[in-house]
């Protein structure tokens, strides 16, 4: 009678990663067929007014190169865009593994701590990405 009850799988682990994966997949699909679209992307207002690239400059070209399978060219255009695509894949894989292993949802305090840590890491990544774009954007 001391049998442990099986842990329930938590959909919590899948919602964010799957929504993000769907958005990234849609972006890659649009990038793949970009030449056939009836509209062009707008000019970067930041670059147009200040003469320097913004943190997202080169993102469209990076996604187009990534959709064509040219990871090196994509990384030259915008390394953060490429990192974002690959991190989305890792996050989705991690979510599936946590879902399948029925990992319990962490307490709210732990979720907030992780959110702050990840936001800080993302901010530092974007700063380094912007420095790269300022120095090397083709």
Provide the number of structural domains found in the chain.
1
Give CA–CA dist 57/49, Å, rounded.
Answer: 14
Calculate ∠ Cα 80-125-87, nearest 5°. 55
- Which domain range does residue 17 map to? 12-136
Give CA–CA dist 132/111, Å, rounded.
Answer: 31
Model pLDDT for residues 6-41, shown as the tens digit of each residue: 678 899 999 999 999 999 999 999 999 998 989 888
- For residue 43, being part of any structural domain is answered with yes
Nearest to 80 by CA among 132, 134, 15: 132
Nearest to 130 by CA among 86, 89, 80: 80
- For residue 39, being part of any structural domain is answered with yes
What pLDDT, on the 0 to 100 scale, is given for residue 123? 98
- For residue 58, being part of any structural domain is answered with yes
- For residue 2, being part of any structural domain is answered with no
- For residue 57, being part of any structural domain is answered with yes
pLDDT means per 10 residues, the chain with 138 residues, are: 69 95 96 90 90 94 96 97 97 96 94 97 97 91
- For residue 1, being part of any structural domain is answered with no
């Amino acid at each position: 009678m001391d049998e442990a009850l099986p842990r329930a799988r938590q959909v919590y682990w899948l919602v964010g990663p799957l929504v993000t994966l769907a958005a990234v997949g849609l972006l890659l699909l649009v990038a793949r067929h970009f030449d056939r679209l009836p509209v062009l992307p707008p000019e970067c207002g930041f670059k147009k007014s200040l003469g320097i690239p913004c943190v997202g400059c080169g993102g469209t070209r990076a996604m187009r190169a990534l959709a064509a399978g040219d990871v090196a060219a994509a990384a030259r255009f915008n390394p953060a865009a490429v990192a974002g695509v690959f991190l989305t894949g890792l996050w989705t894989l991690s979510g599936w593994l946590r879902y399948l292993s029925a990992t319990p949802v962490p307490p709210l305090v732990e979720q907030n701590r992780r959110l702050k840590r990840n936001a800080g890491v993302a901010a530092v990544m974007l700063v380094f990405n912007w420095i790269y774009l300022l120095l090397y954007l083709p």
